Amino acid sequence: MNIIEVKNLVKRFDDITAVDNISFNVKKGEIFAFLGPNGAGKTTTIKMFTTLLQSTSGKVLINGFNPSTHPNDVRRSFGIIFQDPSLDDELTAFENLEFHGVLYNVPKKIRRARIEELLKIVELDKRRNDLVKEFSGGMKRRLEIARGLLHHPKIIFLDEPTLGLDPQTRNHLWSYIKNMNQKENITVFFSTHYMEEADRMSDRVAIIDNGKIVAEGTAEKLKKETSSQTLEDAFLKLTGKQIREEGAKNIDKLRSMRRVWRK
């Protein structure tokens, strides 16, 4: 069963096509890596999946719902860890989770039990009453993961969840995520620039470049097709070694990407 279905999805900003007619499916319970160079369209795609951006054309179904016509059904279906922090620094860890639980209408009894459970899983139960502004980057990420899982989502989106974290924290994060994937059969959809992470964690991979899907399949398959030793090599063969191609047109494009990212 497909929990994410994407067909001929397009997103245009003014005259730049950020996402150019992409199609793919993600199966329920799968760990799916969404890879691509900077400005390839990863964040834009995730924003369309999560109702933060309207698509220009094409079809998206998240847990069977269309984000444009049934945003609230879609929103109930997923949890998300954004690329940048999205916690309220002036609230405590517990208050951030409580806020989320109320917003998602999780009944008090279930909410409190779930908060306890998740705080233990991400090893923050002793810091529950500390203000988030006192937390390190890794602790904030852990708290965001707990928050993303709080309302029992069917899918969790992670947009470069391990960016800037040390290997210890990265490993811990992945063990929580893997654990929830197995225990609650949550579908995991993540983007990352760490290719070995994608190789190790994902069941399947899609690579997006210049708004188009250039490869899709298991990491093994992509390595074999490009006769590469590692996924990183395969990635470079598929997307090119240039930092981004020639011409002023592309500088404009990058600039507009930055505009999207900053928002």
According to CB under 8 A, which residues from 89 to 118 bind other proteins? 89-91, 95, 98-100, 102-105
Task: Give the span between the Cα atoms of 215 and 57, in whole angstroms.
Answer: 22
Shortest separation between residue 104's beta carbon and other proteins, angstroms: 6
Alpha-carbon gap, residue 145 to 92, rounded angstroms = 15
Among 23, 38, 54, 185, indicate the residue that binds other proteins (CB under 8 A): 54
Rounded least distance, CB 240 to other proteins, Å: 30
Determine if 72 is a binding residue for other proteins (CB under 8 A): yes
Euclidean distance between CA atoms 208 and 223, whole angstroms: 16
Which residues, in sequence order, are bridge partners of residue 118? Answer: none
In the sheet with 57-62, reading across from the earlier edge strand, the strands are 16-27, 2-13, 57-62
Rule CB under 8 A: say whether 75 interacts with other proteins: yes
Whether residue 56 contacts residue 15, with contact meaning beta carbons closer than 8 Å, is answered with: no
CB-nearer residue toward other proteins: 149 or 234:
149
Query: Which residues touch 129 (CB under 8 Å, ≥6 apart)?
Result: 92, 93, 94
Q: Which residue has the tokens 């369209």?
A: 41
Give the one residue of 58, 64, 85, 240 binding other proteins; rule: CB under 8 A: 85
Piece of 65-73, 120-128, 170-178, 199-207 that binds other proteins (CB under 8 A): 65-73
Residues in contact with other proteins by CB under 8 A are: 47, 50-54, 71-73, 75-76, 78, 80, 82, 84-91, 95, 98-100, 102-105, 131, 147, 262-263
